[in-house]
Structures are given as C-alpha cells and as structure tokens.
Amino acid sequence: MRYDGTSFTNFTNKERLRRYHVFSVLEDSKGNLWFGTIGAGVYRYDGKKFTNITTKDGLAHDRVGCFYEDKAGNIWMGTEGGISVYDGKSIRNFTTEEGLTNNDINAIIEDKSGKFWFGTRGEACFYDGKTFTKFTNKEGAPFNNVRSIIEDKKGNIWLGGNDGLWRYDGNALTNYSRSFVGYIYEDKKGDIWTSSEVNRGTWALSRYEEKSLLDNTVAATPIRTEQGMFFGIVEDAKGGIWLGSLQGVSRYDGTSFNNFSQ
C-alpha cells in the first residue's frame, strides 16, 4: 500500500503481485523499495516495475522479516532460513553453518564500528566480519527472541524481545522493562518509542523521553493500549508517529490519533 497524503493505492492488486503478507519495507540509498513477504520472497520496486527475488535466485528462504542497508550499500535480508546479503550482483547467505546462532532472523543493524547485530528467534549475536559471537549479559545469559535492535544517536544499542527492553552502552547493560518488546524506534528528539505486551493480549505504545534517559529518572509514558500486537513505529517529516496494528494504521500528532482502516 502507498499513501500519498490523500489516498491509499493497493499495489498488490494494481500490479497483480502474489498475495502474501508483507512484513518489512526498506527504501535503499538508490531509491529502490524492498518488500519482504511471508512466502513469496522479496519484491524490489525501482519506481517503474517490481522484480521478485526468491530461493530460485539464491535467497536463503522465501519468508523474509527484515531488511538493512549497510554503509557499503549492500542489502541484508533476514529470512526464516538465514541471512541473505545482496551486493548488487549476487546473493551470499549466512546460516548456522557459518556460526549464526539461529536461522530465523528478526532484526539486523550495523553499528558505528562496523559490527553487525542480529536479533533471532533463538539467541542474539553480532558479527565482526569474520566471526559470529553470541551476545550475553554479565552473568553469561543470552538474549532470546530479540525482535528489534536499534543504535541510537549516542551509539547505544537497544534490544527488545522476550527479555524486555535493554540498552547496551558498549560496557554496561541497563534494563528498562521486563515486558515483551516488539519494536523500538528513536525519534528526531532522541525519545525512544516502544511497542510492548503489558498484559496477555494487551499491547502498549510507550515513549521514553530523552531527558529521563539522561538523568536516569526513567519512566515510560504510555501513549496507547489496545488488544492485539503493534507491528511498527515510524516518524514522518512533520513529527507525526505512525503505528501499525491488527486494527489498521494510525498517526499520532502528539495529542490524538488519526485512525486509518479498510
């Protein structure tokens, strides 16, 4: 779906694409749009036509949950069968055979040092270009089913998943919530937004203000709760926060929500 500020266009119908859930979207540095589907592999849109990339083309798996473009312009694709990296010409795959902790990938980022971090259905890990290393806390326990990883403007790594919300500053780990966290986003002001399951079946959109993170008076401000999972968070050019859920799409202007549905 594309929203131009007035109306929605359904490209699945318009372009006669195969009808599979689209779980991830990336706009790369060249302006191409990448769509990860659950069953039909990847669709790449160059502004004129869609190209379908599947296991027949070397993709690790046709169920794709996340994308990441690294500093060199390579496209990293997290699938249920490992990681596929496209350099513009060919695809290279990483799996547990190469040291990945689990083949079902939820999140990928590259930090300022060039290290890659992976959230998986199993244990989180990082990759220095040669070796995959399991990421653990000071007691040696791993982080399981990490659904979202980001690096904030200060270089901190944030992880969200089964073990709640954690921040890693390169030396120490800080825990902010033990509730299951599905998504993490940093806005232009440096505030951290999360989606989390606060009670069984009830999810919350919350905001951690940058000031409270700096002076350690951390308290999440609940913005919205509803039954069913929140899927994604993103900020638009005007500072509006867009939220995806089982009920549709909503935009928060700082005061109220504008809800879009069928």
* Pair of tokens at residue 214: 């700096």
Q: Which of 148, 78, 70 is nearest to 116 (CA)?
A: 70
CA dihedral 219→223→229→230, nearest 10 degrees, is -100
Banded model confidence at residue 122, pLDDT cuts 50, 70, 90: very high
pLDDT for 247 equals 86
Nearest to 62 by CA among 87, 41, 92: 41
3 state DSSP class of 213:
helix
Q: What is the pLDDT at residue 179?
A: 92
> Can you give the pLDDT at residue 22?
93
Give the model's pLDDT for residue 252.
Answer: 97
Distance of CA 3 to the CA centre of its chain: 20
pLDDT over threshold 90, residue 231: no
* 216 pLDDT tier (thresholds 50, 70, 90): low
Mean pLDDT of the chain: 94
Query: Which domains does the chain show, CATH number per domain?
Result: 2-190+213-227 (2.130.10.10)
Residue 213 has pLDDT above 90, yes or no: no
- From CA 95, how far away is CA 206, in angstroms rounded? 34
pLDDT score for 200: 87
C-alpha closest to that of 61 among 47, 34, 40 = 40
Dihedral sign, Cα of residue 113, residue 115, residue 118, residue 123? negative
This prediction has a pTM of 0.93
Closest CA to 145 of 176, 124, 118: 124
